[in-house]
Amino acid sequence: MTPPRPQPKFRITDRWGGGLLCVLLLLLSQGATLAILLRAFPLAKTSAVAEGQKPTAPKKVETVAARNDKNPVEEPVALAGADLKQAVGACIVVGLPGTKLDQRTSAALREGEITGVILMGANLKSDGQIRQLTADIRAAANEGGKPAPLICIDQEGGSVQRIKMGLPSAEEMARTPEKVRDYGAEVGKKLAELGINVNFAPVLDLSMPGSKVLAGRTFSADPVEAATLGGDFARGLKEAGVLAIGKHFPGHGLVKDDTHTQIAVSNAGKNELNRHLRAFKLAASSLDGMMLSHIIYTGWDKDLPASLSPKLSAIATEMVPNGITFTDAADMQALQKYGTDAERASLALGNGTNVFLTIKPLSTLGKNFTARVAEQISARKFDAGKLRASATAVGRIRASLGTSTENPIP
């Protein structure tokens, strides 16, 4: 007798199986989705929401695109909000209104809205007053838990020495080249004693006959000699712990025009451009940074001066990979065509120059200056990576200067 074949547990002819299949086919034919099925036959809750409580809505990650639907970008809001403002603040140096630290600047140092100050002749009366001023500047940064601020000055010698030391000019120093490093050390020691940690010197421009703005301020018309003597001066500064910032990259000696009072353009060819650039290249290993000029060099960038040019800021940064780059003072006439102070700052920082420098006191720059610069950078859709890199570089330099509470050399 043949044993009966085993019957399948489920057959389409079964009443329930066939009925269910028909229902499924009907739903699918009507375009039903899995979501409909799940709503019709809800599964057991798997979340840890207590009975009677409303589930918490998932947090939304806001982006710049969400803020600006007309011009969406993919950059996260981390660099369009508080973090962007903080990064901008790490890259701004301003002037002071008098011989004492004003409340506005003190608060900005404490809150990280600026990274330092530049001292001009009007801010300096006596050694004792300068020491008190720089101590107050450091204390303000320390109150906010910030590292030592950049306290900057132009102390070249000759006609450009904010603190009167009777220094010879660079042109005069060059006549006794064996003493140039000693001159740098003398300047460095004096600045360190007064609590100043950044000097916008040496001048590495090549001598330009007939240039009033460079008269006496250059070491030589030869790039090798200019680099050698400028490097010696820088090493003297650094012996005292003062940062040496070479200027005016990539060479003010290419024009006679003064960027303080007018737009200056150099149409020099590549060979001449590179000849002036060579002084900066050769001296770079002795420097802690570069100050970029406000001159337009059409051989590199036909539209923007060096201080605002992405190409030239990249070249300068490559030369001082462990240092930082500054704009020349952004108050000069040569930059006025590029908009407001905040707009010029956004161009400089957005295009890669590490520090925007202005001799204007913060109180004259309008309310919320740092925030307005950040808004401009966001609106112009600049590469946030450049600003991050600048803020990191400046932070590294500030950390190397010691803590905000350290007293200057006695």
Question: What residues are labeled active site?
Answer: 260, 328
- Rounded-to-integer distance, Cα 406 and Cα 198, Å: 16
Which candidate, 406, 409, 402, 398, places its Cα nearest to that of 149? Answer: 398
In a 10 Å sphere around its CB, with 0-12 CB exposed, 13-18 middle and 19+ buried, how is residue 186 labelled?
Answer: middle
210: alpha, beta or left? (left if phi > 0; alpha if psi -120 to 50): left
- Rounded-to-integer distance, Cα 273 and Cα 300, Å: 9
Pairing between β-strand 265-266 and β-strand 155-157 as defined by DSSP bridges? unpaired
Unique residue bearing structure tokens 């050399």: 409
- Rounded-to-integer distance, Cα 187 and Cα 52, Å: 74
Which candidate, 161, 115, 154, 162, places its Cα nearest to that of 138? Answer: 115
- Rounded-to-integer distance, Cα 220 and Cα 134, Å: 34
Query: What are the phi and psi torsion angles at 51 (to 5°)?
Result: -60, 135
For 59-73, b/e burial (b = at least 16 CB within 10 A) is eeeebbeeeeeeeee
Which candidate, 234, 162, 151, 161, places its Cα nearest to that of 196? Answer: 151
- Rounded-to-integer distance, Cα 321 and Cα 315, Å: 10
DSSP state of 263: -
Token reading at 194: 């007064």
Helix (H, G, I), strand (E, B) or coil at 387: helix
Contact 105, 80 (CB under 8 A): no
- Rounded-to-integer distance, Cα 409 and Cα 218, Å: 30
CA 131 to chain centre: 27
**Residues 6+ positions from 375 with CB-CB distance below 8 Å:** 342
Number of other residues whose CB lies within 10 A of the CB of residue 172: 13
Helix (H, G, I), strand (E, B) or coil at 153: strand
Helix (H, G, I), strand (E, B) or coil at 94: strand
